[in-house]
Structures are given as C-alpha cells and as structure tokens.
Amino acid sequence: MAQRPQTSATPTRAERPELFPRRLAAPARDRPIVRLEGVHKAFDGQPVLRGIDLEFRHGETTVILGRSGCGKSVLLKHILGIIRPDAGRVEAFGQDLATLGRRDLETLRMQFGMVFQGAALFDSMDVNDNVGFLLYEHSKLSDADIRGIVREKLALVGLEGIEGKMPEELSGGMRKRVALARAIAGDPHVILYDEPTTGLDPVTADTINELILRMQKQLGVTSIVVTHDMASARKIADRMVMVHQGRIIIDDRPEGVMASTDSRVRSFIYGDASLESDASSSGGSS
C-alpha cells in the first residue's frame, strides 16, 4: 500500500496563509527589502557603528565582512530590531522599525530566519522541537503538520531521521545545518547568517556554502551573511560589504572587492596585518 508521504501533505505558507498568520508581501526582486540609514550605536560610550548606510535588495546574497569586534553581529541585531540604533533608522519591508509596536515587530521578525553565531540551538530540546520552535509558538498548524514541515526542512539541509536527537549528540556541522533548518521553518523572505562556516573543516564549510546558495535559488530568499571566511564569501556573494571602525568602507561586487587597492580591505581579504599597518602609516602622512 503506497502511503501518502507526509511532506507533500504539509501546507506551505503560500498554500495555507491562514495557518501562518501575519505573512508580509516581499518587495519586487532587486528592490530594497531592508535599509539602514545613518545608523549609529555605542555601548557604554564606546561607538561601535558610526553611520551605517546599507540597502539589501530582495533576492540578493550580501556578505558582510569585517574584523572581529567591528560590530557585524550588532548590525544584524539592528535588522531584527533586537538592538535599537542611537541615531538613524532601520527599515524592513518598507516599515520603520522604531515606529512599530511589539506585535508588528514580532510579525516583521517572522519574515526573517536567523542562523545565530555558533548555531545557538536550545540544548534542552530535541531537533524536532528546535526546528519546529517558531511554528509551535506562532502558527495554528497541527503537531502532525509541524512534524511534516520539520522533516521536510531537515531533508532540505541534508539531514534525515535525526528529529529525536538532542543538540549535544550532533557534530558542529550538523548543528549549523539544524540551525539553518530552524531558520527556514517558517518560509522566511530573508535569512540572516552569523558566521555560518566558522569552526568547520573546509569540506563541511563548503556544504554550508552550497546550502546557502540553494536557499537563494530554490526558495528565492534574500541572504545576509556575516563571515570572516573569504573562501565562503567568494563562493556565495552577489555583493560584499566591509565594516571597518564602524563604517562601511567598501560595497561592491566580489570582483570589485577582490581587486580593491584599499589597504584595509586587502589586509582583511589576504589575512595580512602588515598591509594594514602600512596603510595607517601612509594614511597618517597624507
């Protein structure tokens, strides 16, 4: 007897919008889906972001580069409204985040999937509950439907049959993939990745690159990827931006960034600190 596979019976957001409330329409492709304008942020008087202007276009993969501690994670948190700017504005889906109440902000956040730095799975929950978390909390889907969606998303990231495992039983690469499955559980328009390949061997890291590309091609998502990993950046980026001392110092196609003569950019992409010290001495004399 052929059993109907659960996955094909599982409704998507597009098919059953009433089950996934509060879905916002995405802008047309190549139109801005997120904008930051003059964003400043300081912590304890120490400036981290000093006037960030950035637009993320729908359907594009933007890689954000920058040295450790330069404010990349802080920038991502502004996009989700987890951190509010001291000055400037953040807009997503045409809405100024500062004007939104709690419920509207929550709706907005549901259009995003986030793969946090270090995967950040809930240690006390099994893989099924981790991946289905948002759906259990915010959708009206039945448990059986959620299990179907979880299975489908795990299959999409190349992990099958691990629903019952606990995070501690997984390798680093598997945890990142589970985190990605969790990020796409609600069929988001935008996926934010914070260091998705850090700490993985080059081959496993490349499977994550392939997945990021697949999410863009297969699901049509906009991707914003923070990374130090230049091999990953070169493979996945439509566009690269680099943050340095709280400002964007380059915003270009990968070819343009790789060919940059800016010593701060070159020092970063070639991992050579001496290039940057040359820059500061020559910068000081000009």
Ligand X SMILES: Nc1ncnc2c1ncn2[C@@H]1O[C@H](COP(=O)(O)OP(=O)(O)OP(=O)(O)O)[C@@H](O)[C@H]1O
177 binds, among ligand X, Mg ion, none (CB under 5 to 8 A by kind): none
Nearer to ligand X, 52 or 162 (CB): 52
Residues numbered 61-80 forming contacts with ligand X, rule: CB under 6 A = 66, 68-74
CA dist 228 and 200 (Å) reads: 12
Neighbours of 82 (CB within 10 A): 13
Residue 12 DSSP class: P
Q: By rule CB under 5 A, what count of residues binds Mg ion?
A: 1
- Tell me the closest approach of the beta carbon of residue 207 to Mg ion, in angstroms: 22
Neighbours of 169 (CB within 10 A): 12
Residues numbered 79-138 forming contacts with Mg ion, rule: CB under 5 A = none
Residues numbered 7-66 forming contacts with ligand X, rule: CB under 6 A = 43, 48, 66
* Angstrom distances, CA of residue 273 to CA of 52, 70, 72: 24, 15, 20
Q: By rule CB under 6 A, what count of residues binds ligand X?
A: 11
| In 5-147, beta strands by DSSP E | 32-43, 46-57, 61-65, 87-92, 95-96, 112-115
Question: How crowded is the C-beta side of 238, counted as CA atoms within 13 Å?
Answer: 16
Among 61, 62, 73, 130, binds Mg ion (CB under 5 A): 73
- Tell me the closest approach of the beta carbon of residue 117 to Mg ion, in angstroms: 5
81 binds ligand X (CB under 6 A): no
What are the start-end ranges of the H helices in 68-110?
Answer: 72-79, 102-109
b/e code 94-130 from CB counts within 10 Å (16+ = b) = eeebeeeeeeebebbbbbbbbbbbebebeeeebbbbb
CA dist 221 and 64 (Å) reads: 17
| Contacts with Mg ion, 20-59, as mask; x by CB under 5 A | ----------------------------------------
Nearer to ligand X, 68 or 124 (CB): 68
Of the candidate spans 8-16, 70-78, 217-225, 262-270, the one that interacts with Mg ion by CB under 5 A turns out to be 70-78
Residue 54 DSSP class: E
86 binds ligand X (CB under 6 A): no
70 binds, among Mg ion, ligand X, none (CB under 5 to 8 A by kind): ligand X
| Contacts with ligand X, 105-124, as mask; x by CB under 6 A | ------------x-------
- Size (the chain), residues: 286
Residues that bind ligand X (CB under 6 A): 43, 48, 66, 68-74, 117
Residues that bind Mg ion (CB under 5 A): 73
